[in-house]
A and B are shown apart, each in its own frame.
Chain A
Amino acid sequence: MALEAKNVSFRYGSNKTWVLENKSLSLERGECLVILAPSGYGKTTLAMLLAGYLKPERGEILLDGRPLPMSGVCPVQLIFQHPEKALNPRWRMRRVLEESGAIQEDMMDEFGIERAWLDRFPRELSGGEMQRFCIARALMSGAEFIICDEISTMLDTISQAQIWELVLREAAKRDIGILAITHNRFLAGRIADRIIDLSADRG
């Protein structure tokens, strides 16, 4: 067992309807699990729960049988859908990468991050370029699992392909577990080892 959600239930506020009810899933290192569902089925909520951004109301999230660490660098890193929101607009990109530790040159080459970009602000980069930084930031922190919450939805198909190529290659190299969330069945078919459809088991 690696990263595991055990009978997790969550709702936003104690008198609201359940967003997720009694969900369980597990993800091994080196595996790519895709979660597929239409809007409003709690995909992002599940991602936030698994990365420790939210606490489940019932059930628990376990990493190798233990709860996620609450302080220090989290071994489960979440990559958000909108890179422009995930970057401090007043920071140059060099600082963004340094936030997760020392800059690793080889990973920058791997991700096709040009040295000149490091001295730019987020608004001076395109969406795909920003997303590369977000992924690189998550991976440079030494993450063992990454959760990709529709990380390529706002990109054109070529950039999507490029980004996923990079993520999958890096994950295979470091034996990282990937949980990818998407609407796109074709993308899911290309990258997944296993697919879970959240809409299938809702009563």
Chain B
Amino acid sequence: MKRLNRRTRLLILTAVTAAALICMYVLGLAIPDEAVEGSFLEAGEPPSFEHIFGTDSLGRDLFTRTIKGLSLSITVGLVASAVSAVIAILVGLAAATGIKGIDGFINWLIDLTMGVPHTILIILISFALGRGFTGLLAGIAATHWCSLARLIRGEVLQLRSQQYVAISRKLGKSNRWILAHHLLPHLVPQLLVGLVLMFPHAILHEASISFLGFGLPPEQPAIGIILSESMRYLSAGMWWPAVLPGAALVLLVLLVDKLGDELKMILDPYSAQE
């Protein structure tokens, strides 16, 4: 068999990672809510062939709950990072219009948002918006756009000063044409990678805020909720509700992170040809 070159292997790896994530997501959506209802006869059982993650104190199958939780996490991650990316690109472009006042204000806003610890800010925003799914999403979206916005701003400033952009203007092209044809194509890979790398952050924040009780309501099968419940039974020797869903969350985060790195390798012109 012919040995595959690094780029082909990278592409295959990326496809596999993406497929694993999609499987997780679809599986979680496909599981009906009734499947998570448990029976008290099976409460607190350790992992077995019937329940591979064991059952929790209410007799619910932990594996199904975990998968549903991961699926929810992916939704949160997707929405939050997509919204953050949109904010980031708008802010980045606005900052790069060249108007000093706007740029200064946006830089100040970025510094302000980054200066407050994320977790506290998310808790405040989520709490103010009545917790739940929307509160949590708003909180995460409002805190995660900063670093990407700063990156986009820097990139746009650098692109705007390029000679070929100045030449384009002298060839009679409008600002909008230059934005669409010269600037945006350079920003898309940055944005895509930034979005994917933001995803694990968003997921972990969602889990930690739910764990602390400021996020999703207790009946939602979220990983943060499962972990927070597990704390009560940990001292009674029930390790599985804490360890296994926690490990699943870590696996999800690692997978997404890997996907981001792979995409970066593929899109970044410095490593694309390897």
Interface residues of A (CB under 8 A from B): 51-53, 71-74, 77-78, 80, 82, 85-90, 99-100, 137, 141
Contact A73 B163 (CB under 8 A): no
- Dominant secondary structure of chain A at its interface with chain B: loop
Contact B166 A73 (CB under 8 A): no
CB distance from B79 to the nearest CB of A (A): 30
B interface size (C-beta, 8 A): 14
15 additional contacts, CB 8 Å, given A73-B170, A73-B171, A77-B171?
A: A53-B166, A53-B170, A72-B172, A74-B170, A74-B171, A74-B172, A85-B162, A87-B164, A88-B164, A88-B182, A89-B269, A90-B186, A137-B171, A141-B171, A141-B172
Provide a sorted-by-A list of 9 A–B residue pairs whose CB atoms are within 8 angstroms. A51-B170, A73-B170, A80-B163, A85-B162, A90-B185, A99-B168, A99-B171, A99-B173, A137-B167
Rounded to whole angstroms, the CA-CA distance of A37 and B173 in the bound complex is: 33
Closest 9 CB pairs of A and B: A73-B172, A74-B170, A86-B163, A85-B163, A72-B172, A88-B164, A100-B171, A86-B164, A141-B171
Contact A78 B170 (CB under 8 A): yes
- Give every chain B residue within 8 A of A90 (Cβ-Cβ): 185-186
List residues of B (171-215) whose CB comes within 8 Å of A's CBs.
171-173, 182, 185-186
Contact with A along B224-251 (1 / 0, CB 8 A): 0000000000000000000000000000
Contact B170 A52 (CB under 8 A): yes
- Give every chain A residue within 8 A of B172 (Cβ-Cβ): 71-74, 141
Chain B, residue nearest A79 (CB): B167
Rounded to whole angstroms, the CA-CA distance of A137 and B167 in the bound complex is: 10
Contact B185 A77 (CB under 8 A): no
- Give every chain B residue within 8 A of A88 (Cβ-Cβ): 162, 164, 182
Chain A, residue nearest B173 (CB): A99
Rounded to whole angstroms, the CA-CA distance of A74 and B166 in the bound complex is: 12
